[in-house]
Structure 1
């Protein structure tokens, strides 16, 4: 007769087995890959558009890594969509007949880039695109979605690359103009400070009447000195009568009436 375990012993064995399984799973956790795409993309009708897809994985990129793209047309009730492109082993495999001759690989798995390029975009290409990346053993990631809007040129949003480049160039030119104006203002202010303290003393016109001496020009009477230099006061000429007689002539002699010195 075979021995049978009691209910108590059976429960104990079952608990030990469950504990061992949990310990093993905890030692080797399941990896999870993270996939990122733009929420919305605008492409001009008839041009080539790039659907960006990047991912983050804790594992080294292996030769078994793969990228799958699927498409759900706008207004479709299908939640899974149809495969339009699959990349694995360094090769691309177009799926849908709608994109078969228009889709190509534009990424680099070593750089964690799974983007694709679609040429001659059409209005019927509007819809939701899904990017799914697998990098064994990192395979439990969630696919990322992006909505594509194929529009006419005049309907493109103002955040197009051309507008951004134009704004950057305009900002650079504005900074240069401001720098030049500030430089010129600084030079004018320095020149004004350098000429502070300069005075102009006009020459006395009566010196032209003195015999044997050439009259000085008004420019020679201009002097520029520092504030600390002494300043000679003006010389005033007066007529003095030394003889006291009526027949004597009046002689012009200089008399200094004021000698002003500035400390």
Structure 2
């Protein structure tokens, strides 16, 4: 079996559905997408995938990314990977040089690969993304589970076919939702700009020649 991460096949449909519901456009925050859980074999390399949708082109001068690690639910977050003009690896002692950024922000991909996975790497990995003019940063979390042996093999042909069909449908739905959100956001920005201009013109008219009112 490939050393890449895998998702349990019986939960494939539910995972896709939960992603659809959780990534539907809300407010002004960005849509950040990542698998809820990833299983990795001890000693292997695993890609922790995180992608995002934005109405705007990524500009390195404004774009920001934070990857943090939480050992437990109530533990503090540890920053280990950051993007500020360029990618910066914080070289946390727990990871050493095992973290490699394998994403491409200009393609809305901020994934990274964790090499030589250890049992101590289990925990929650948080992906935070902000792409101005988006006002609120988006967030997604991945729970990493480290396995000491491969799960039993089984025939998952049907699950793969169903998963592929559902995945394609979800991708189309999410794309439509993002397009609708972008159109609404840009329309709202134009309305805000027009309101501001109208208010400024009103102030200018109110400051006219005072002699005109006595004629």
* TM-score interval (norm. to shorter): 0.5 to 0.7
Displacement of 1:104? 1.2
Instruction: State the distance in 2 between where 1:115 and 1:52 align.
Output: 5
The match for 1:52 among 27, 49, 54 is 49
Change (3 A) 1:158 1:112: farther
Q: For 1:16-165, what aligned pairs fall within 5 Å after superposition?
A: 31-63=28-60, 64-73=62-71, 75-78=72-75, 80-155=76-151
Q: Helix, strand or coil: the match of 1:110?
A: helix
Greater relative contact order (Cα < 8 A, sep 6+):
2
Q: TM-score, normalised by structure 1?
A: 0.45
Instruction: State the distance in 1 between where 2:117 and 2:152 align.
Output: 14
Structure (1 or 2) with the larger CA radius of gyration: 1
Change (3 A) 1:48 1:156: farther
Q: Helix, strand or coil: the match of 1:124?
A: helix
Displacement of 1:94? 2.5
Instruction: State the distance in 2 between where 1:84 and 1:150 align.
Output: 19
Runs of at least 4 residues off by over 3 Å: 155-159
> What are the ranges of 5 or more consecutive residues in structure 2 without an aligned counterpart?
1-26, 162-215
Q: Helix, strand or coil: the match of 2:138?
A: coil
Displacement of 1:42? 0.6
Which residue of the partner structure matches residue 180 of structure 2? none
Change (3 A) 1:57 1:119: same
Instruction: State the distance in 2 between where 1:156 and 1:147 align.
Output: 21
Displacement of 1:44? 0.6
Q: For 1:206-245, what aligned pairs fall within 5 Å after superposition?
A: none
- Aligned-residue Cα RMSD (Å) equals 2.5
Displacement of 1:71? 0.7
Instruction: State the distance in 2 between where 1:116 and 1:157 align.
Output: 27
> What are the ranges of 5 or more consecutive residues in structure 1 without an aligned counterpart?
1-29, 169-263
Displacement of 1:158? 5.5
Displacement of 1:139? 4.0
Q: Which has the higher helix share?
A: 2
CA contact under 8 A between 1:51 and 1:116: conserved in structure 2? yes
* Cα deviation code 1:71-114 (max 9, x no counterpart): 111x4522x41112112323332252211311011101111001
Q: TM-score, normalised by structure 2?
A: 0.55
Displacement of 1:40? 0.5
Number of positions where the alignment pairs a residue of Structure 1 with one of Structure 2 = 132
